[in-house]
Structure 1
Amino acid sequence: MPEHSTPLPDTGTRPPEQGVRRRAVLAGAAATAAVAALAGPLSPAARAVAFGYGDDGSNYVVDTGASLVFKVSKANGDLTSLVYKGVEYQGYGGKNSHVESGLGASTVTVAQSGSTILISVTYGTLKLYYAARSGENNVYVWTNKADASVSATRYIVRVKAGLFLNDEPDSYTYAPTTIEASDVFAKADGQSRSKHFSKLRVIDYDYVGWSAGGVGLWMVRSNHEKASGGPFYRSLLRHQSADGGGLYEILHYGQNQTEAQRFGLQGPYVIALTDGGAPSPSLYHGSIDTSWADALGISGYVPANGRGRVAGVGITGRDTAYPYTVGLASPAAQYWGQARASDGYFSIAKVLPGTYALTVFKGELAVYTGSVTVAAGAITTLNSIAVPATSDPSNASAIWRINDWNGTPAGFKNAALMTYAHPSDSRAAPWTGNVVIGSGTETSAFPCYLWKDVNSGIVVHFRLTAAQAAAAHTLRIGVTTAYANGRPQVVVNDTWTSAVPSPPAQPDTRSLTNGSYRGNNHTFTYSVPASAWQTDPATYNTLRIHVASGSGTTSYLSAGTSVDAIDLLA
């Protein structure tokens, strides 16, 4: 593949390192401190050169004074070169690294303030910033999106082919057969691959990237305060193909969005290069100190003293079998924090001033909502939050229940696989098969997803006592999302059929086939009359669950839904 960067001036860089064609790894927030310590933001410089910037005619050229030299186009703000220890990492297929698929003609300026260099890019109402710090192998990036004139908000670091080959779920280097659209592929063994198959929710990671040949290339995510979708949102994070690789910071994307876009300054997110180890924890969104940027004039920038904190002394009424998360959301910003397992204490820092909806999640299921106002430079302390017993559907007395209510399909058949595989994947268990209450396998045998064209009409067998059969009961089916307005319609004993329920608001894009069950949790309820039940306690009742919809196409793109829990109330 030809190079597409302007040759660097002689800066004493080393010749390209060899032996980088190794299997890459995805390092998450659980990387050990020993590994992370390999690459602090102020790690010793690999070579002695001057920190500063130049102009090669087409680009501003920044030398960090460590091992990193990068270029930014003076025409459109693209990152056109990323050279680490003499090796070019940026670019594939003639494409650079940039916001979206690249901006048009932009105003690009550069300035140095002490040990910081800032490149500012203005494209209409959008502003993009790159910052370098003396002695660091990092590029700090901010995006200020003022309106919807740019369709989505992502930054993609395009990486040259062959440097970080891997065969992970989000790689399709070895998967030439297309399964769906132009972004889901199959290998010869039937395993699926797609850039969408990241496995991770936003709350699960601090950085993504690869390590091979003694070099780590990482995208350290921002706090996502201007993103949409909340803590449990899933989006593509990276990809590998024969053309090259991509690392993403995505704030609003055209897949599975449950919220409107938020506008304003987001960042920094950090492009970090290391000697193979994880990026320093001091770069993580929860601990990064950007006081050095306070006086740089970044549009929309709010320093630490212009932000507040929310602290809750505890949460009562929790089910200690589950993690609890507290989320803050307004049209302007979003934040979240984990509640302490012992008592539910939580703290959410670096919050922009304003009034927020406060939501307590059991797993991913909202069980409490309230409101909180945050002031600059202040701590808002909340008294103990009591989750009402009626807010957790698990507290309702049930004759039988399949799975537990936690806002996810976890525990159902194929649920774990579906965050990083297509439903047609050879590793998936059959999507059909009926369920018997009392078998001990009710949950593991029930498929996490139901489709009109795949497994609609799945049957649940159950017995009722004479007293139970003499009364009407409420049946509940909880879902986490739906595709093409798929929703459950039920038939009891082939004699009583429910009405077709109205579809709840859900994302209108693919979800079940590209690694995400996250939509809007919704509970369907059905009042089943006593006349529908079998009167003989020894006889099994049958519950058939069909998927109703007038939309969708065929197979796994027919109308479908993801299931949270099913129960028959006492």
Structure 2
Amino acid sequence: MTAPSHKRHLTRRRVLGASAIGVAATGAAVAGGTGLLSSASAAAFGYTDDGSNYVVNTGASLVFKVSKATGDLTSLVYKGKEYEGYGGKHSHVESGLGASTVTIRKSGSTILVKVVHGAITQWYAARSGQNNVYLWTNKADASFTATRYIVRLKPGVFPNQGSDSWIQASDRIIEAGDVWKRADGTTHSKHYSGKRTIDYDYIGFTTGSVGLWVVRSNHEKASGGPFYRSLLRHSNDLGAGLYEILHYNEAQTEAERFGLQGPYVISFTDGGAPASSLFHANLDTSWVDGLGISGWVGRAGRGKVAGVGLKGMDATYAYTVGFANTDAQYWAKASSGSGAFACPGMLPGTYTMTVYKGELAVHTGTVTVKAGITTALNSITISSDPSGAKTIWRLGDWDGTPGEFKNAALMTYAHPSDGRATKWTGNVTIGSGSEAASFPAYIWKDVNDGILVYFKLTKAQAAAAHTLRVGVTTAYANGRPRVSVNDWVSAVPSAPTQPSTRSLTTGSYRGNNHTFTFNVPAGAWKTDTSQYNVLKINIVSGSTGSAYLSPGTSFDCIDLLA
């Protein structure tokens, strides 16, 4: 497709003649947080056709190209320097769509590129005077297995450092082609971002004088909720990548959602963080309403949920209120004092509402959202916190994470074999004063199976049956705990539903929280109160594997009820 005849390269005369237009555009640029621009620069806003690509000049310091054949983003030139592309590949949705129908049009101070390929429609937008590219992805069905956008960047333009970076020339692969180990024993992978979705608004790189960022969308059509972890960026000696992950099909706990997602933003800066006005919670999207993007729902078509507070909170933990149905997901942080929360910008519908203590669901309900209306909720009393039960002893706490246990923090940005990890073996004695820190966050059948927990009971306690609870956060290869107490051995529990992909070795303990309950009879205990009872935890599974890819599970909390 060729550009319309009136979309020509601006000659020097046309630029000077159009400078008055630039003055008007400057006001919009300042309002958008992009800073004051020269009239000549603003007048350059527009697009041309170089035969293979649509070439978009933002009227600021950014010029980008979109392939007319595939819809790939083939160039990102900021202040005269090219940043895009590595390994013969460009930036694109999925792994590249291939032959697509690509069109472009200018609407006032916005240029919009539309890319159509089967079930996926991808949009790119430029706004006059901004060093940003706005993107949307609309996926209609599961004909593509994942939903991501990857921005591919040239090698060497940004520092190659961090847990999600590696040196391909010297590091060695230790797992599945995407986990690397360095000579110093540290492990690196694109999976090791160390962040949950709720933890970040943007990711990227900076040299100190140039920053290139991807500001995430609100993820309303993504899957996995606020605590989902996935790859966000990577870098190595051959190039670097930034990701917007909408459905990666790894460690997923929910079915895929379909429909329009965005905008997410590629943003250049002079080295600092992207403007907070680009964050999804702050972004003014009124300019999108008239663009005709299919699936777009503006502010007027959305509603809000507001709650006056939560009762029964544990002040030690942060609380999050999540909303989910088959079409969308949202979440809001509850205030640390009253537990008040507000979740604006929601699509109309009925949602399951879940209150999380840390990452553990402790209350559920339903709420209906209507366009243009705030649904007000009275105080919610937390009804299902397992921490309220009276115990004889407890390892860790019920918060939906293995955070109190050995190596837990490291595992969000390293492989279990990392040289910084404390030995995964080692038994625990209740009353030693460091029980949780000594208990491993993960147990695998082929690595540290058979961890022992020693504890004593009083005469009265030993005379009664007790319930042992074992909380887990995820599992690999159907790994689950089977326990024995002294000579008593439990039945093999059924495997709960968990993600079928890698998780424990790719920086995520996040799955479906599940509590195994074992009813231990009175006859199982030692009758001599001076002797230790011995709890043994074994991992059982109908599946096989070796080392850190053998069946395993991640622990939330273990306790013996009084």
Is TM more than 0.5 here?
yes
CA separation in 1, counterparts of 2:481 and 2:33? 52
- What residue is the counterpart of 2:115 in the other structure? 121
**3-state DSSP of counterpart to 2:76:** strand
Which residue, 399, 404, 408 being the options, matches 2:401?
A: 408
Matching residue's letter, 1:117: I
**3-state DSSP of counterpart to 2:530:** coil
Mapped pair 1:462 → 2:455:
yes
Matching residue's letter, 2:364: T
1:213 deviation in Å? 4.8
Unaligned runs of 5+ in 1: 1-8, 13-37
1:372-426, Cα deviation, whole Å (9 max, x unpaired): 00000110001111112xx111100000000110000001000000000000000
Per the normalisation by structure 2, the TM-score is 0.93
1:16-36, Cα deviation, whole Å (9 max, x unpaired): xxxxxxxxxxxxxxxxxxxxx
Matching residue's letter, 2:301: G
Which residue, 258, 265, 268 being the options, matches 1:263?
A: 258
1:106-156, Cα deviation, whole Å (9 max, x unpaired): 111111111110001111121110000000000000001111122211000
The answer to whether the 8 A contact 2:160-2:237 is kept is: no
**3-state DSSP of counterpart to 1:431:** coil
**3-state DSSP of counterpart to 2:407:** coil
- What residue is the counterpart of 2:437 in the other structure? 444
1:250 deviation in Å? 0.5
Mapped pair 1:180 → 2:175:
yes
The answer to whether the 8 A contact 1:39-1:277 is kept is: no
1:339 deviation in Å? 0.4
- What residue is the counterpart of 2:321 in the other structure? 326
Mapped pair 1:42 → 2:34:
yes
CA separation in 2, counterparts of 1:383 and 1:207? 33
The answer to whether the 8 A contact 2:472-2:515 is kept is: yes
Unaligned runs of 5+ in 2: 1-8, 13-29
1:154-173, Cα deviation, whole Å (9 max, x unpaired): 00000000011222000012
- What residue is the counterpart of 1:64 in the other structure? 58
Which residue, 512, 523, 528 being the options, matches 2:520?
A: 528
CA separation in 1, counterparts of 2:171 and 2:419? 16
Which residue, 246, 251, 256 being the options, matches 1:251?
A: 246
Which residue, 415, 421, 425 being the options, matches 2:418?
A: 425
The answer to whether the 8 A contact 1:41-1:138 is kept is: no
Matching residue's letter, 1:347: A
1:550 deviation in Å? 2.2
Matching residue's letter, 1:70: F
CA separation in 1, counterparts of 2:161 and 2:11? 36
CA separation in 1, counterparts of 2:156 and 2:450? 47
Which residue, 207, 212, 234 being the options, matches 1:212?
A: 207
- What residue is the counterpart of 2:267 in the other structure? 272
1:45 deviation in Å? 3.7
Which residue, 301, 316, 319 being the options, matches 2:311?
A: 316
1:430-487, Cα deviation, whole Å (9 max, x unpaired): 0000000000111000000000011110000000000000000000000000000000
Mapped pair 1:153 → 2:147:
yes
Matching residue's letter, 2:371: A
Count of matched residue positions in the alignment of Structure 1 and Structure 2: 534
CA separation in 2, counterparts of 1:552 and 1:322? 37
CA separation in 1, counterparts of 2:318 and 2:37? 42
Q: Alignment identity in percent?
A: 67
Evaluate the alpha carbon distance shift between residue 511 and residue 11 of structure 1 in structure 2; reply closer, same or farther with a 3 A threshold.
farther
**3-state DSSP of counterpart to 1:536:** coil
CA separation in 2, counterparts of 1:91 and 1:268? 22
Which residue, 478, 487, 492 being the options, matches 2:485?
A: 492
- What residue is the counterpart of 1:561 in the other structure? 553
Per the normalisation by structure 1, the TM-score is 0.92
Matching residue's letter, 1:163: V
Mapped pair 1:93 → 2:87:
yes
CA separation in 2, counterparts of 1:41 and 1:334? 29
CA separation in 1, counterparts of 2:122 and 2:244? 13
**3-state DSSP of counterpart to 2:256:** coil
Mapped pair 1:79 → 2:85:
no
The answer to whether the 8 A contact 1:167-1:173 is kept is: no
1:66 deviation in Å? 0.3
- What residue is the counterpart of 2:21 in the other structure? none
Q: Looking at both structures, which has the greater relative contact order when contacts are Cα pairs under 8 Å and sequence separation is at least 6?
A: 1
1:276 deviation in Å? 0.3
CA separation in 2, counterparts of 1:297 and 1:522? 44
Farther-moved stretch of structure 1 (126-135 vs 165-174): 165-174
CA separation in 1, counterparts of 2:427 and 2:31? 52
CA separation in 2, counterparts of 1:490 and 1:296? 60
CA separation in 2, counterparts of 1:411 and 1:492? 24
Structure 1 segments (4+ residues) deviating >2 Å? 9-12, 38-41, 43-49
CA RMSD, aligned part only? 1.5
1:76 deviation in Å? 1.1
Matching residue's letter, 1:110: I
CA separation in 1, counterparts of 2:289 and 2:11? 30
- What residue is the counterpart of 1:504 in the other structure? 496
